[in-house]
Amino acid sequence: MQITTTLTLTAAEEAEISAILGCDVPDLNTRLNSCLAASIQEYLAMFRGQKVFKRGSDLLEYRLLLLIETAFNGAIPDERTVSSLFQTTLTESRSLIRSVISKYQYQLKSHIERTLSSSLMAANRQNNTQDYTVVINSQNVVDELNKALADIDGSLAPVGKKRGSVSTYEISPSSYNNLCTKFNVQPNP
């Protein structure tokens, strides 16, 4: 079904919303349409009595689930992105993402695996004697990688923060190779 709506925004509002959504003003219409799909799904579920929430946190979790499925194209967003959209602190956003991953784990399984695979594909190392490094801006992604390692073999080294960095993580070669096997990722040399 094609749904069309018209919004009247000032240039300042367009610039502000574009900055929040992380896009340029010319791309704002497309970006808002992806968010619109999530909001329409939320309303339709409410109208049909499928999702009637008593707690605000349940509604926020459901909204984030819908945004993951639509606006984020199945990728699990990082805490800063969620904070800018939901007006929450980084800690609150981390908790919200963790709750969504836990509550909707079966529905999000393929999205979580795709997000983890993307992190593994982005990992690299300088030479064969070093650990792999990767920039991960979400603690929840790191936690999911470590859960996967625990499921594979509890004796594997965890994904850990690189000393002196904000969001660069190190993965030992054995842990990296086991994760690549689990998620069907071609390991980087």
Cross-strand bridge partners of residue 168: 135
Label residue 4 left, alpha or beta by phi (over 0 means left) and psi (-120 to 50 means alpha). beta
* CA–CA dist 135, 24 (Å, integer): 24
Q: Which residue has the tokens 């509604």?
A: 59
CA distances from 169 to 44, 127, 138, 139, 175 (A): 41, 16, 11, 10, 13
Decide: helix, strand or coil at residue 10: coil
pLDDT the model gives residue 112: 94
Q: Which residues of the chain have pLDDT under 70?
A: none
* CA–CA dist 164, 159 (Å, integer): 15
Alpha carbon 102 to its chain's center: 13
pLDDT the model gives residue 1: 82
| DSSP one-letter code for 124 | B
CA distances from 3 to 37, 63, 68 (A): 9, 20, 21
pLDDT the model gives residue 43: 87
CA distances from 58 to 61, 63, 64, 104 (A): 5, 9, 10, 11
* CA–CA dist 144, 113 (Å, integer): 9
Predicted TM-score (pTM) of this structure: 0.81
* CA–CA dist 113, 151 (Å, integer): 14
Q: Which residue has the tokens 């801006």?
A: 137
* CA–CA dist 139, 14 (Å, integer): 31
pLDDT the model gives residue 179: 96
